[in-house]
Structure 1
Amino acid sequence: MRARVEEIVFDCADPARLVRFWAGLVGGDPVDRSPDWSYVDAPGFVRIAFQRVPEGKAAKNRLHLDLDGGDLAEATAEAVRRGAETLGGVVTDDHGAFQVLRDPEGNEFCFVSG
């Protein structure tokens, strides 16, 4: 048997707000299935879903998304305009570059190039 990734789910406090942030980054139309569950079907990717949980984020994510947003500086600026915050500066090595960010609820993700 081989399993297939159906969706990636983020625990969060405000699914409707977070789905709109992520839809702005990855494309697709935000869907609010209920006050506790929202999702976006990102073109060319699996569904990204958001479920309300009572507890807040307590530590660094053990899993995060790496996104190719084209121009690293432009993608970062757009994400910040939408409510993200950067963590440190751009990291560059022989394989490319990346910028670590947090979404409006503190979930880490990266823009990558190279």
Structure 2
Amino acid sequence: MHTLPETLHKGMKVYDSTNDEIGVVEDFKFSDEDPSTPGLEQTDVNPTDVDRDDDLVTIMARAFAGEDNLSDELKEKLLREGFVRLDAEGLFAADRYITPDQIEGADGDRLLLSVPKSALMKTH
């Protein structure tokens, strides 16, 4: 099972498989099934930024704000497996979602992907 790097944090620069900088980490959620995060519940989108009393509806609204083009099934999959929301660079660039299996690794303030930018899910 693929998991998000433990050193993942907001503001990390993201590089695709061609080593192009494509944006920064805007938000993320670790997998509900990640063995390295014992006790992490679906209510923990980002443990440092979320009030523990938030319910699932509030978390989904925050994680997928304005993302009406994502199916409920896809949203549930992202919440279950974990994701990174990329704030894409460029005036007309659509934000994108990165799944754990698309991540090569993390190096300091760099998140390295194993796929090109075109392989990422667009939000618009």
| TMscore range, shorter length | under 0.3
Structure number, greater radius of gyration: 1
TM-score, length-scaled by structure 1? 0.25
Judging by fraction of residues, say which structure has more strand.
1
Q: Which has the higher contact order (CA 8 A, sep 6+)?
A: 2
